[in-house]
A and B are shown apart, each in its own frame.
Chain A
């Protein structure tokens, strides 16, 4: 009955091929990393101290976690604070709001190497922090700020106004309404932003090489240099001596990122579950 024109079949085939290629590329990368990396995952990779014989990735793994925790602890209060201002306090279409949004969008579009240079000039040189965990995490904090601001603002705006009305109608003030009712309801959305931010932190190299340095150690304090897993991989492949261990590191990095995503989804599900169960 229904006649399908040749051009329609052709277009369908093209979109199908595009979908297949997209999924294929991802699967290929994951498969390739696993194939090259898994055979080289050995206990010595997880030795507590790095040397050129064991090529341990443990210091880098610990540094990555420290970097993520520090960056988030700087960026999260700022990002959420700004998001609360934009979503709850600022009048819609106000000039300051447009300026802040423009600033955030611009920040989001800057290449990470520029952040790295800024971080080096400002934190490393001008403030004299040297290559350090602190300089690196401050640089990354600025980098992930727009992301947290954006996702936080969207999460707040998606909280139904009926919650706010209900709270005001009980005689609660603005502050209590925002922090006891609106913000808790927005947590799943905020966490989604945090997951993306952690992904960026774990994947960043350019901004860190010039701010946190590349010393392969578990940093004794925040003023010590540290290399994250991504920087570690970069160093290994640049040196060209431990390419196989580089692939093994990539496997671990992949697992870490997937792990973080799963945990965050669980937390969001647990908190969000209370909202969605209708």
Chain B
């Protein structure tokens, strides 16, 4: 048995050493113009051209000599290849070379930039460098991974987590990527808030931007405009409250009423997942805008002058309430169903009436869920970007202000950073409150034991108003979506109401020619980019999410709580903040990826990772731990256990995470709008662009198409997962023999 462990470990070691050497000797060290996968660099002076050369060739030609120490870090591990894993020297050498190499790689990356040394004290100490470097490329990236995993193998060999290489490496990997792509950009953004126009740091700058009247002004009490921060806060509280109430109504109708068409109500809740967030705003314009159908109808009926009442607070509020009520519903349905029926039945046998039972037992037990739904609505409203952009009018909110600070004429990165910090402060406070306050207060009483009871119906006095509210809302939602589809086939809304397919033709026309199909429509470019980026991001998101979930549910290690908090944090970071921070952090070396497709993929991975983590945790905690343990005692190591036992049993969760991250990547707008470039335009930002040009027909036709594409994706998932679940039902009887 000993020989087996030492053998596999060294295979992993050899793999990473080879990877490091490939990164150092074969692949271009710096970012390649036109992308690595075009392979143009192969015929353009590789391996000697400075732009495409691997590190080893650069050093041999006497350039970039500061890369040379890495060679030592990559050579040292060769010395311990023949040693046993338990040999203290083995661990020491790997830790030393991994830590020093990785540290050096990072230090030189930050120390030396486009204009030589990045820091004045470095220049004062070493003198003018006379050389410079650009963003790291694949060579540097693979070299860095190699050094990182040499380090983790060294740590594992010292006995951390029982010497488990896979687990230590996974922890190290997740921590590194989360640090690089979440904490580093946020930190960079915080620093940007203190930068003056000539590049020095100053606290005064921060305060002058922070105490701006446009941010905290209270003018709306005196007939003027209020600051964006107050606007956002007020709107978020209102939306949180209303979505919670509406979500509860829906949940009560579905679980505790005799209403017949519950399935229709449930189906409505899928809609916002597959709808780009600003589409609701568009539909509201079609209904209530200046030339909206309802506005016109009312104006003709009462002879009133149509007003712009929709643009501003009312419009954003209605759109967000429509968009986020289903999210509150999804939270509350779990809680409302989770209240054990036997509790309610017990109350009834203790002579409580239905109304008393509901008031004294059911409702108090749902309280944590209500708070949770409120906080989610609050965070979503704060972070929403699309609806305020479409409907905002003169009503400034933080997320759009950030956008205009970066994109608009003012181009003030510092102001964007300050606004982003305020926004981040609000959402993080809500996130923190949710975790600290609600973490310990879950009353849901699902035990896994069969609970034979049924939920009692709502008391009649409650069920009538609840049903009316829920139905009214459902009808309104259906009308809104009908408007979207109808709007996409109308020539020019409110002016020329004749039916036409011309918007679809403009967007999605194709020509069949001899060379094949030519995608002549205006939307195809962004459409294919979106599909490609989403398809690349989805599996990566699912992978990172599931590995993290595995570490969180199945392993114990020091700092696990901080690890969990860190990985879930990006959930609370609004997309606009991510967008701003990515622009600030990744526009300069060492990681210079703005304007590429990579930055879009990366932003999707870290925006959607928490969803993958949540899905993974939920389904992994349903797998009995003894399954992994028995696999371990049968001689499989933790990687083999993960691959052969956990992954196959998690197929539904994997599929869900895949489709969900795919759909989210297609509907996202807030971070995307900062990160798109001419070459990599995404569907949502293209649509927003059309809206800003008042080209509503095309925008709505494109949105409708997206909705149907994603409906197909979700439908496919339902079919696939449904099939897997049939297999699982028989399995669950094995796990709990009765």
Real binding pair: no
Interface residues of A (CB under 8 A from B): none
